[in-house]
Amino acid sequence: MIPSYAYQGPVLDLSALRYDPCHDWIFPSIIRAADHIASPLGRYYLYYAPHDAPGGLCLAYADAVGGPWTEYAENPIVARTWLPHHDVSHISSPHVLWMPDEQKYFLYYHGENDTTRLATSQDGIHFTYEGEVVTTAMYDGITESSYARVFPCRHATRGACYVMLFMGNNAGTRRIYAAWSQDGRTFESQRTPLINPPPGTNVTQVGAPWYFAKDGRHFVIFHGDQTDARLNNVITDMYLAEVGADFTEEKHLGFYYRREEVSPENMRASDPCLFQDGEDEWLFMSVGARLDQHIAAARRRI
């Protein structure tokens, strides 16, 4: 049930990055740019961002999923100050999705932590701001609505075509919530948490969800944080839960990818991003220590 990935290593040369405000990179998002862009910089685009202020949404490109990846020369492609649309402390968590009905890429990101925003583009580089799509005001008792990803997913009773999964801070505990949309622009909230910290573990916070369906079943990968007093730091692994066709179930299935698969001393394997390329499935992720992470990849043959 749980696949095994071979760790491939970091995908960016951190020592060569032109834009590197925090030396900390998270939340990878991959698209096959050559499918919809006439003359892309490379066949594949990778989006990523720092966690802390000032943040900034960044782009790298490559002709193979395994790299080498080249930093876009004018990063960040979206900055925290984008007048007259927003002027915030930071922006982060880019997630890019091709929307066939509009023949555009939709870019979801947060900033501040209580707001998930949308911008659109035809070339994957230059974006038009579209507005706020999910905020904490749409939910009960949460103070964050961030680290969102959106997936094609039909819900029979809601009539929706897309599901957004994101991290909400509920009274100090971060849980995963869902929202539903017909067009990727206007979302209806599923107000109660979808996924809580896995029972029987020391995990206290969960986030960065990734949805996939397999054999008629519906799953969410997510990372879970726990504080390690010995290391005086946060340690993070990826977990798997089954949520059911209507996203009302919560069946925890254990580990999906453990931090030690990167190296014995690695403290985090977070922000999962699955990408299928031919017979290979790639797991892009953030690894390292909290606030000192980099983007890495693992691969398995399917």
pLDDT tens, residue by residue, 163-199: 999 999 999 999 999 999 999 999 999 999 999 999 9
Q: What pLDDT score was predicted for residue 158?
A: 83
Full residue range of the structural domain in which residue 209 is found: 6-301
pLDDT at 229 over 70: no
- What would the mean pLDDT of 19-38 be, rounded to a whole number? 96
% helix / strand / coil in the chain, to the nearest 5?
Answer: 5, 60, 40
Q: List the beta strands (DSSP E) in 88-216.
A: 92-99, 104-110, 115-121, 128-135, 142-155, 160-170, 173-181, 187-195, 205-214
pLDDT digits (tens, 9 = 90+) for 276-295: 999 999 999 999 999 999 99
The whole-chain average pLDDT of the chain stands at: 95
Domain total in the chain = 1
**DSSP states of 211-224 as a string?**
EEEETTEEEEEEEE
What is the DSSP track for 12-66? S-GGG-S--SSS--EEEEEE-GGGT-SS-SSSEEEEEE-SSTTB-BEEEEESSTT
Question: In sequence order, which residues have a C-beta less than 8 Å from that of residue 117 and are 6 or more positions away?
Answer: 86, 91, 108, 109, 110, 111, 129, 130, 131, 132, 133
User: What is the structure's pLDDT at 12?
Assistant: 95
The residue among 195, 192, 191, 190 whose CA lies nearest residue 174 is 195
- Structural domain includes residue 51: yes
Q: How many beta carbons lie within 10 A of that of residue 221, not counting itself? A: 20
Contact at 8 Å (CB) between 92 and 49? yes
**According to the model, what pLDDT value does residue 40 have?**
98
β-pairing, 115-121 vs 128-135, is antiparallel
The pLDDT of residue 3: 87
Q: How far apart are CA 291 and CA 273, in angstroms?
A: 19
CB–CB of 123/61 below 8 Å?
no
Q: Are residues 106 and 183 in contact, defined by beta-carbon separation less than 8 angstroms? A: no
CB neighbourhood size of 230 (10 A): 6
Rg (CA), the chain: 18
Cβ(208)–Cβ(270) below 8 Å: yes
Q: What is the pLDDT of residue 284?
A: 98
pLDDT at 264 over 90: yes
1 inside domain: no
Separation between Cα atoms, residue 77 and residue 238, nearest integer Å: 29
CATH number, domain at 60? Answer: 2.115.10.20
At residue 2, the pLDDT reads: 81
Report residue 231's pLDDT band, with 50, 70 and 90 as the boundaries.
Answer: low
Distance CA 86, CA 184 (A): 20
Tell whether 230 is covered by a domain. yes
Q: What is the pLDDT of residues 107-157, one digit of tens each?
A: 999 999 999 999 999 999 999 999 999 999 999 999 999 999 999 998 877
| Predicted local confidence at residue 160, as pLDDT | 80
Q: How many other CB atoms are found less than 10 A from the CB of residue 264?
A: 7
Q: Shortest CA distance to 146 belongs to which of 20, 22, 26, 21?
A: 26
**End-to-end Cα spacing for the chain:** 13
